[in-house]
Amino acid sequence: MQLIARRIVRYSLITLLSLAVLFALGRYSVMVYGGQYHGVRAPYLQLPSPTTMGLRWQTPNSEVGVLQLGTAAGVWGRRVLENHAAEQHAIDVTGLTPATRYYYAVGSEQRMYYGGDALHFFETPPLPGSALDVRAVVLGDPGYAQDGAQARVTQSVQAWLTQHPRPGRADFDLLLATGDQAYTSGSNPQFQSNFFIPYQPWLAQVPIWPTYGNHDARRFAYFHIFDLPAAGQSGGVASGTEHYYAFDHGQVHVVVLDSQDSNLSTGGSMYQWLEKDLQANRQPWLLAMFHHPPYSKGSHDSDQWRDSWGRLVEMRAHFVPLLERYGVDLVLSGHSHMYERSVLLDCHYDVSKTLTPAMILSQEANGHYIKTGPIHSPHQGAVYAVVGSSAKLDDGPLNHPVMARSLHERGALLLDIQAETLQGNFVNEQGRVSDSFSITKNTAQPALNRDSCQSN
């Protein structure tokens, strides 16, 4: 009987192991298959610098891609060919002039698929440190196209941009996305239908800067689609990975972190890289972006370890102190499918009930915040914005005590940075600006005496 029992146990273990292996192989094949897309994809822009720009597009058949480029629509000064035939095309153009508009067309030797008109152009970034104003559109969890809300938000944002033109300039310079660019599972076809098609007019003119979200991580498509500056091609310190990176645009330095898959401890490689990058930064404006918000009481709760496997808690406990030590101005996140915007906050690294008045440096109802002292002075306060409702809208209490404004609305955040002032406007799907705030840097006034949280 004991022999029979042992055999039953052994066969049961073998069966369970076999089922586990089959499940793992099936899951792996689904992830790999989900990373594939065979079809047409309109051009989008990657890896910009003052003298370079990358163009990406896709064709249903393998062919050698051709790019034509000029400073007037249809008047070509350069023609660049790919080195080999492919379906997914990538051409990086070098030797460009900073802060200059270029028109383009892409295709093959036989035909041009896109461009050659006034709608297909890009503008190279200005030199680092340039005082040229910067405008950004921040899309929060944008990859959900099923119910029409995504289109309404996009139309409302475009209407606002048209009503606030910048003569001789593109409508905006930076397209930031806070993660979950493709619902529900981040497959390549979902990226096409839920992201590239809806935002094609913007993607044709403005480089896209994404961050890695939990829905993006369900397939292998994200890193096949996006080419991100792991080698520091767009400014900042090289990270050696596309999971997290930095870039410069004139007077703005942006760090994009991976709160989904990277090590979130202070001993991890992302933390070590971030500290090096922040030490090297010389731009007066510092923005950070990652998917899981350090403060939220929307569809996710930043107080709860069980929420998203503790990623919200770890980002607040480990990375927010480092960002505040180097004078971060604005932190952008998504994941919670609502809009929340904080007071000018400093040194709040625990659950919401531990908030004290000393951690709130300014809670003005009109949202006009002033930071004093030299640029990058530590612990002079930062604003935290949860932008997660550019396409989806979920429910939640919206009662986090650090939030000066919490809205159960779909929309996108628009940022205008001019010299010493950052202006933020949340434009909802009805086209109304339902939240405004500003951060002004007054370097003529001494910094608050807040070298560390312990000294406060």
Quick: pLDDT tens for 224-246: 999 999 999 999 999 999 999 99
**Average pLDDT of span 427-453:** 93
Q: What is the mean pLDDT of the chain?
A: 92
Quick: pLDDT tens for 299-312: 999 999 999 999 99
**Average pLDDT of span 425-451:** 94
Q: Considering the domain boundaries, does residue 12 fall inside one?
A: no
Range of the domain at 97: 41-123
Q: Considering the domain boundaries, does residue 420 fall inside one?
A: yes
Q: Considering the domain boundaries, does residue 448 fall inside one?
A: yes
Residue 36: pLDDT band (50, 70, 90) is: confident
Answer yes or no: is pLDDT of 126 > 80.
yes
Radius of gyration of the chain (CA): 23
Q: Considering the domain boundaries, does residue 13 fall inside one?
A: no
Residue 33: pLDDT band (50, 70, 90) is: very low
Query: Which phi and psi (to 5°) does residue 80 adopt?
Result: -125, 130
Residues 52 and 159 in one domain: no
pLDDT at 29: 41
Of 87, 103, 123, which closes a domain? Answer: 123
- Higher-pLDDT residue of 251 and 147 is 251
Answer yes or no: is pLDDT of 10 > 80.
no
- Residues 296-322 as b/e (b if ≥16 CB within 10 A, e otherwise) read bbbbbbbbeeebbeebbbbbbbbbbbe
The edge-to-edge listing of strands for the beta sheet with 86-93 is: 41-49, 52-63, 86-93
Query: Which phi and psi (to 5°) does residue 247 adopt?
Result: -155, 160
Residues 311 and 408 in one domain: yes
Answer yes or no: is pLDDT of 222 > 60.
yes
Residue 15: pLDDT band (50, 70, 90) is: very low
Residues 190 and 211 in one domain: yes
Residues 138 and 94 in one domain: no
Residues 85 and 221 in one domain: no
Q: Where residue 82 sits, what CATH number does that domain have? A: 2.60.40.10
- Higher-pLDDT residue of 111 and 409 is 409
pLDDT at 22: 34
Quick: pLDDT tens for 242-290: 999 999 999 999 999 999 999 999 999 999 999 999 999 999 999 999 9
Residues 244 and 382 in one domain: yes
Residues 6+ away with beta carbon under 8 Å from 356: none
**Average pLDDT of span 213-228:** 97
Answer yes or no: is pLDDT of 451 > 50.
yes
Residue 23: pLDDT band (50, 70, 90) is: very low
Q: Considering the domain boundaries, does residue 128 fall inside one?
A: no
Q: Considering the domain boundaries, does residue 8 fall inside one?
A: no
Residues 6+ away with beta carbon under 8 Å from 7: none
Residues 207 and 321 in one domain: yes
- Higher-pLDDT residue of 20 and 142 is 142
- The domain tally of the chain equals 2
Residue 16: pLDDT band (50, 70, 90) is: very low
Strand partners, 285: 252
Residues 260 and 404 in one domain: yes
Instruction: Determine how many CB atoms are found less than 10 A away from the CB of residue 23.
Output: 10
Percentage with pLDDT > 70 across the chain? 92
Of 100, 123, 146, which closes a domain? Answer: 123
Residues 306 and 364 in one domain: yes
**Average pLDDT of span 86-101:** 97
pLDDT at 4: 57
pLDDT at 170: 96
Quick: pLDDT tens for 167-199: 999 999 999 999 999 999 999 999 999 999 999
Residues 6+ away with beta carbon under 8 Å from 324: 346, 347, 378, 379, 382
Residues 6+ away with beta carbon under 8 Å from 343: 360, 361, 362, 363, 383, 402, 403, 404
Residues 117 and 188 in one domain: no
Q: Considering the domain boundaries, does residue 9 fall inside one?
A: no
Residues 86 and 206 in one domain: no
| Amino acid at position 265, single letter | S
Q: Where residue 356 sits, what CATH number does that domain have? A: 3.60.21.10
Q: Considering the domain boundaries, does residue 15 fall inside one?
A: no
- Say which range, 215-224, 279-288, 361-370, has the weakest mean pLDDT: 361-370
The closest alpha carbon to 391, from 439, 428, 346, belongs to: 428
pLDDT at 182: 97
Strand partners, 411: 428
Answer yes or no: is pLDDT of 13 > 60.
no
pLDDT at 31: 44
d(C-alpha 221, C-alpha 219), whole Å = 6
Residue 421: pLDDT band (50, 70, 90) is: very high
Q: Tokens 């292998």 identify what position?
A: 220
Residue 70: pLDDT band (50, 70, 90) is: very high
Q: Are strands 403-407 and 252-256 parallel, antiparallel or unpaired?
A: unpaired
Half-sphere exposure of 21 (CA within 13 A, CB side): 6
Residues 113 and 139 in one domain: no
Of 78, 97, 123, which closes a domain? Answer: 123
